[in-house]
Structure 1
């Protein structure tokens, strides 16, 4: 059985640590056994989020899009996510019932649990590399579309509410 090597890039417009509006996108690339390059991805827009929560949501979705066990390199600039994985906090949180070192509930525990579940299906490593300019442009375009969709949906909801 061939194991695919997949590179996942995560980018967001979120500014840590503030909570607010942000767009984010994931892009996964891999080469099929026939040598064909495959690229897929998705963008999200959230009205109220943090960088950590948005990055976790994107990682969960990217890993969930993989149909077979893969060797995955996840690339993000989110320091909290990188630290949690590289310093083995994730493993410790799981062992401690999703409590941090101060015995307080881990922030975004449900998202962390979902990411951990998806990671169990793959061999996952983390890095902070950014995508090439071509991919970054593609991801920015998808984030712009996600924002436009979110604004359209919000406007349509406001129109429905004003009819009553």
Structure 2
């Protein structure tokens, strides 16, 4: 099974601002594409917003699968496949200083390690087929949920499942 995660933010401005973020989870089930969309807000830099959106998206995975993350953030995309190496170095750079956005990288790492085994994660850094659609949706949508705070079960159920195999809310 393969899941594509398409990430987009309302702004690529590098400074700290509040921005809307959205993503689409896509997989082929029963012979056709099944998608789920999620939106929220993040207050921080562009890289922080992308990292927290990735962590949120990964928390939806409930089955072992190949995951491809599509983002326009070249820095985050290029470092995703080195996240285990960064964790092994104690989240320090080559000069012995803490890496930037350490807390957000740790959230992504935690979400990756909570995935059912085995899993394989790759990243593509390019404009993708959902880029414009997500940006348009964010313009017209209330994105009140704050990303990066984890998912919560539905009241009284203890878990959440949206009926799409491999995902949960």
Q: Residue in 2 aligned with 1:13?
A: 10
Q: Residue in 1 aligned with 2:95?
A: 102
Larger-Rg structure: 1
Distance (whole Å) between structure 2 residues aligned to residue 131 and residue 15 of structure 1: 15
Q: Residue in 1 aligned with 2:58?
A: 63
In the superposition, relative to structure 1, how do residues 61 and 38 fare at CA in structure 2: closer, same or farther (>3 Å)?
same
Unaligned runs of 5+ in 2: 146-169
Unaligned runs of 5+ in 1: 151-164
Counterpart among 112, 122, 126 of residue 125 in structure 1: 122
In the superposition, relative to structure 1, how do residues 104 and 146 fare at CA in structure 2: closer, same or farther (>3 Å)?
farther
Q: Residue in 2 aligned with 1:85?
A: 80
**Structure 1 counterpart SS, 2:52:** helix
- Residue correspondences, number: 140
Once the 2 structures are TM-superposed, how far is the Cα of residue 136 of structure 1 from its aligned partner?
A: 3.5
Q: How does 1:3-42 map to 2 (within 5 A)?
A: 4-32=1-29, 34-42=30-38
State TM-score, norm by structure 2. Answer: 0.72
Q: Check if 1:49 corresponds to 2:26.
A: no
Distance (whole Å) between structure 1 residues aligned to residue 137 and residue 38 of structure 2: 7
State TM-score, norm by structure 1. Answer: 0.74
8 Å contact 2:78–2:123 — kept in the other structure? no
